[in-house]
Structure formats: C-alpha cells, structure tokens
Amino acid sequence: MGATKHEVHSKEINELASLFKALSNPARVKALLILAESEQKTITTEDFLNEIELSQSSISRHLSILSDSGLIATKIITRNKKSCLAYQLNYECIQILQQVISKITQLSGNMNTNSFYSKYKNIITASLLFKT
C-alpha cells in the first residue's frame, strides 16, 4: 500500500491543502464573499439564509467547514434576545492564501494568465454586484 498524504507531505502543505479544499464549493466561496463585502463585522446564519438559496442545515454545514479550516471565526452573540452564532473572516488565513497564490504566480513567471485572471475577476465582480 502507498503512503498517505500525511506521510508524504509536510504538516504545512497539508494545512494549506485543507484551506484550498474548503474553497472547493460555490456556497462556501459565496459565503466568504458575503463576509468580505459586508459592512457588518459579523454575520449570522440567518443573514446567510437571505443571501444563499440553500437550506439552513446546508448553510450551517458549509460554515462549519469554513470554520474548521480556519478561514472564518465564530463567536456567540445576542440578537433579538436570543443567542446565535456569528461569523467573521479570519484575515490571517486570507493573507496566507494570498501569499501562496502570489508565490505560485511569481514562480509561474512567463505564463500568460491575463485571460484566466480576467475571467475569474469578472465572475467575482459580478457576484458582488448582482446578489442572487
């Protein structure tokens, strides 16, 4: 039998892979974009329900995956005399992702990636402008 990913790769590489894996679902990417564009510092599951057309249990599961990865942090707040979980971006993790992507971009050097980046830049811009 072959070696596992934990045996082959360093702890740091496995942790980075977990961060990127957490981004592998459109609902989780959208949740991060909602948090990033929000004027509020924290957003509750109820707030996400208004923005993402999924069931409450699905949204909670996606937020749990983002939280487990470290991309978002949770805290308990009181809203309308009820306790609820609130979510906020973990900017330290976001900066780590930015650094990794910058490093990959630097190492790729001569690759013509303008059309690739513009395609995804347009998708992100559109998702922020036209909430569904």
Distance (Å) of CA 38 to CA 34, 43, 44, 53, 131: 6, 8, 12, 18, 12
pLDDT at 112: 56
Per-residue pLDDT of 21-52, as tens digits, reads 999 999 999 999 999 988 877 899 888 999 99
CA distance 87 to 31: 10
pLDDT at 132: 40
Length of the chain: 132
CA Rg value for the chain: 17
pLDDT at 116: 59
Distance (Å) of CA 125 to CA 100, 105, 112: 22, 21, 21
pLDDT at 124: 59
Per-residue pLDDT of 61-119, as tens digits, reads 999 999 999 999 999 998 889 898 999 999 999 999 888 888 888 877 655 555 656 66
